[in-house]
Amino acid sequence: MNSSRARRSPIAALVIGLFLSAGCAHQPAFQSMLPSDIDRDGKAIAIIGDTQQTPGFIRFTRRRENNLLDQRRLFDDLDAIVDELSSLVVVGDLVYSARSSRDWAHFDSLVAPLAASIPVLPAIGNHDYPCIFIEICFKSRISKGMLERFPWIVPGQPYAVESDDWLMLFLDSETGFEQQGEWLQERLDNAPGRFAAALVFFHRPAFTNSIVFGAVSDPDVQQHFVPRLEQANLPVVAFSGHVHGFEHLVVSNIHYVTTAGGGGARGPLAAERPFDRYRGPDCPQPKGGIVLRPFNYVLVREIDNRLTIDIRGFCRGDDGVRSLDTIEIPLAAIND
């Protein structure tokens, strides 16, 4: 792992790891199969990130918010529009501890109703690896909980799904960067003329204005993924999670959308936010200077030959989930 990625002290990590690995056995409520393609038929792709729930004792010691009820509101909203969805993408950190049956049971309670109707596709996050220490993970194997639900996931191995004239590419932002960068370049080089846009999913964001400890722009992603995205000859949008909020940054004409407000304790953004294109509301906080973004997920549709990204969410105290902002990107022409 990179030295830039934060580690807790070994003793504290051991105590936390042993605690989180406990929990009664839980049978998976669903198993997804990797589709070769997804027929959108005018429907939207829903994208949400960081559905993990921070354990109570960590929330208490670190003064983190409890978002369980807020998370349920987001998934109630998704359940209500499931007939309008072609698929659900989760951009990493499905659970807090990949070794915890309790955490996977909570994930099932959120996602299984949707998985009964539509494909569910994950981009693996740091918390989704089986860890002895929370930040010191084995990167050579996938957790049992992940494999029981998504049996095609392999460490450091990307995968692709076609959705009509969109190419969906899934990367692992924890390991295997060089090989994945080459795979990404090959896929994007062959996309123009066949696809109108590429949607790329990975957990750790290439760029962020978050000031949460350890939540920095990822150097491996910047080195191995970003140059390939910038060289693409068709519209590319990169979706990430990890920093527990929402950001829409445009860097070198690439749109980077971080939708990580799906349940994890949210963190503040810096006062100065370069490249930030988000025009929606921020959530009021009692302490001045702290900016928290709403709980959120996004819907991606094609409307009038444009890639339309609808950011949906709410601040605590709002009446309901609503549209917060919209991103529109012209699609490329494809060969008949």
200's tokens: 């790329």
pLDDT for 136 equals 56
pLDDT for 36 equals 87
The total number of residues written for the chain in this structure: 336
pLDDT digit string, tens, across residues 220-235: 999 999 999 999 999 9
All residue ranges of the chain with pLDDT < 50 are: 1-24, 134
Question: pTM of the predicted model, to two decimals?
Answer: 0.89
- CA-CA distances (angstroms) from residue 5 to 14, 68, 218, 310? 18, 27, 9, 31
pLDDT for 227 equals 98
Domain spanning 10-20+38-330 has what CATH number? 3.60.21.10
pLDDT for 12 equals 42
As a whole number of Å, the end-to-end CA separation of the chain is 45
Burial environment of residue 62 by CB neighbours within 10 A (0 to 12, 13 to 18, 19 or more): exposed
pLDDT for 8 equals 36
| Distance in angstroms (rounded) separating the CA atoms of residues 136 and 8 | 9
pLDDT for 336 equals 66
| Distance in angstroms (rounded) separating the CA atoms of residues 151 and 153 | 6
20, 96 Cβ separation under 8 angstroms: yes
Alpha-carbon Rg for the chain in angstroms = 19
Residues near 61 by beta carbon (within 8 Å), at least 6 away in sequence = none
97, 57 Cβ separation under 8 angstroms: no
pLDDT for 13 equals 38
**SS3 call for 334:** strand
CA 302, 305, 306, 310 dihedral sign is negative
Among residues 158, 48, 51, 62, the alpha carbon closest in space to that of 98 is found at: 51
pLDDT digit string, tens, across residues 45-65: 999 999 998 766 666 566 667
